[in-house]
Amino acid sequence: MTTARAARLLWVVPLLLAHLLAAAPAARAADEPAYVPTVLVTGANRGIGLEYIRQYGARGWNVIATARRPAEATELNALAAANPRITVEPLDVSNYDSIDALARKYAGKPVDVLVNNAGITGNARAQVLGKLNWPEFEQVLQTNVIGPLKMVEAFLPSIEASRQKKIVNVSSSEGSIGSVIQGRTYFYRASKSALNMEMKNLAAVLAPKGIAVAMINPGPVDTDMMAGMPKSALRTKEDSVADLIRITDRLTVGTTGVFWNWSGEQLPW
Ligand SMILES: NC(=O)c1ccc[n+]([C@@H]2O[C@H](COP(=O)([O-])OP(=O)(O)OC[C@H]3O[C@@H](n4cnc5c(N)ncnc54)[C@H](OP(=O)(O)O)[C@@H]3O)[C@@H](O)[C@H]2O)c1
């Protein structure tokens, strides 16, 4: 090698090294896997909950689909078999140990959207004045009110660890005190009003952490819960869940603590 060529190389080598080093972080960023958000849905084996799994699954999200009796959740298991991002987990929201066990399993893992969907109306005959059935009322409260609050407390670290940080509660217009014209279904109505109140509180407490909370009425939807109602009066699960997800997508800390109707308007408390 001539002296002139060796001198040229002395210049070129550091320049090449500098170029490679500058390019390296960009190359690492491009190699990083894209962030995939995670949704956790309670009561995911049928009705609105199952439709949530279909729609979030189709979006490519990680889906934690929970059910009281996963072994019997045939349709849900079929969805999970066809989509590796859907995981089916046992969860009874009326059982504290069941909630704690699932939260322990997902400790340290992000949950972007927690959907408190599981709910019961309680037997209508148990909600007639003079024949009020107190154990039935307790079960409605345990499922619709205590369960969702316990879910938030147990999964708070996972929600905080996520990017989207959203808590969505499938509420009901039956919980709107301002809309009451006739008296009916004391247990169910009281439970949804109480759900709204506890979640409104949470919205205020969690806003400084960047966590947004919504209560959403899905409208009258064609599920087992509405068996016996004329189909013409009911919305499809597909339309209803698309509305719920659209409201969820737009949810921010700036709009936290609102009681939404499926149509995007606000409902009276
Ligand atoms: N359908 C409507 O018109 C309507 C209107 C307003 C609000 N909502 C609300 O929407 C939500 C879903 O209702 P839906 O219409 O889909 O009712 P649904 O078809 O009766 O389904 C209810 C779901 O909740 C689950 N669930 C009940 N108790 C549970 C518990 N202790 N732990 C875990 N899961 C439990 C059920 O599981 P199992 O199969 O194990 O019982 C089922 O998956 C409810 O919160 C309801 O109040 C519905």
Q: What is the pLDDT of residues 137-153, one digit of tens each?
A: 999 999 999 999 999 99
The burial class, CB within 10 Å (0-12 / 13-18 / 19+), for 140 is: buried
- The angle formed by the CA atoms of residues 167, 173 and 176, to the nearest 5 degrees, is 95
User: Considering the chain, what percentage of its residues have pLDDT values greater than 90?
Assistant: 87
Q: Is the pLDDT of residue 75 over 60?
A: yes
Packed helices 147-160 and 96-105: angle between N→C axes, nearest 10 degrees: 10
What value does the mean pLDDT of the chain take? 92
Q: 25-36: per-residue pLDDT in tens?
A: 444 566 778 999
Q: Is the pLDDT of residue 2 over 90?
A: no
Active site members: 188
Calculate mean pLDDT across residues 4-10: 52
Hey, which bits of 130-257 come out as E strands?
A: 166-170, 212-217
The protein residue with its alpha carbon nearest to ligand 1, atom 32, reads: 92
Mutate to test the pocket of ligand 1, among 221, 226, 261, 263 (most ligand atoms within 8 A of CB): 221
Tokens (6 digits) for 104:
């322990």
Q: How many Å apart are CA 183 and CA 213, to the nearest integer?
A: 29
pLDDT computed for residue 5 by the predictor: 56
Ligand 1 atom closest to residue 143's alpha carbon, by position in its atom list:
31
Ligand 1 atom closest to residue 174's alpha carbon, by position in its atom list:
6
Q: Between residues 13 and 114, which one has the greater pLDDT? A: 114
Q: 153-173: per-residue pLDDT in tens?
A: 999 999 999 999 999 999 999
The set of protein residues with a Cβ atom below 6 angstroms from ligand 1 is: 42-43, 45-49, 68-69, 91-94, 117-120, 143, 170, 172, 217-218, 220-221, 223-226
- Say how many Å lie between the CA of residue 115 and the centre of ligand 1: 12
CB-based contacts of 196: which residues, under 8 Å, 6+ apart? 169, 171, 175, 215, 259, 269
Ligand 1 atom closest to residue 91's alpha carbon, by position in its atom list:
33
- Say how many Å lie between the CA of residue 23 and the centre of ligand 1: 52
- Say how many Å lie between the CA of residue 120 and the centre of ligand 1: 5
Q: How many residues does the chain have?
A: 269
Categorize the per-residue pLDDT at 19 as very low, low, confident or very high, splitting at 50, 70 and 90.
very low
Q: How many Å apart are CA 216 and CA 188, to the nearest integer?
A: 15
